[in-house]
Amino acid sequence: SQQGEEDPQALSIQEGENATMNCSYKTSINNLQWYRQNSGRGLVHLILIRSNEREKHSGRLRVTLDTSKKSSSLLITASRAADTASYFCATGGFQKLVFGTGTRLLVSP
């Protein structure tokens, strides 16, 4: 079964709005990563947050991590049409990453 579960499964917003997606996981982690996937093809790494961090920023991205609740959130501020994609959280060690089920984000102009 998947380690991570994202919600919502799908999110539709207007350009300029913020998008928040959440990820829950089941076991203890060293770090958690977020990836973006366009058009059902290759994934691109967005950001990593370590287990001893609570919040991290990268450009318009903000990630939070609550290890007590085994959850993380990804916030995209001032969204753009180009942000339309599926977003996945991933946990695991060097041997493999276990991906969540993903959130499909649609940003309309």
Separation CA 91–CA 76 (nearest Å) = 20
Separation CA 13–CA 19 (nearest Å) = 7
Neighbours of 46 (CB within 10 A): 19
Rounded to 5 degrees, φ, ψ at 64 are -120, 155
Separation CA 57–CA 1 (nearest Å) = 30
Closer of 17 and 64 to another protein (Cβ): 64
**Subset of residues 18 to 57 that bind another protein, contact rule: CB under 8 A:** 30-31, 33, 35, 40-45, 48, 50
Decide: is 102 part of the binding site for another protein (CB under 8 A): yes
Element spanning 90, H or E: strand 85-91
Contact residue for another protein among 2, 20, 64, 67 (CB under 8 A): 2
Closer of 79 and 100 to another protein (Cβ): 100
**Least distance to another protein from the beta carbon of 85, Å?**
13
**Least distance to another protein from the beta carbon of 26, Å?**
14
**Subset of residues 71 to 100 that bind another protein, contact rule: CB under 8 A:** 88, 92-100
Residue in 15, 94, 19 with CA at minimum distance from that of residue 63? 19
User: Would you tell me which residues interact with another protein (CB under 8 A)?
Assistant: 2, 30-31, 33, 35, 40-45, 48, 50, 88, 92-102
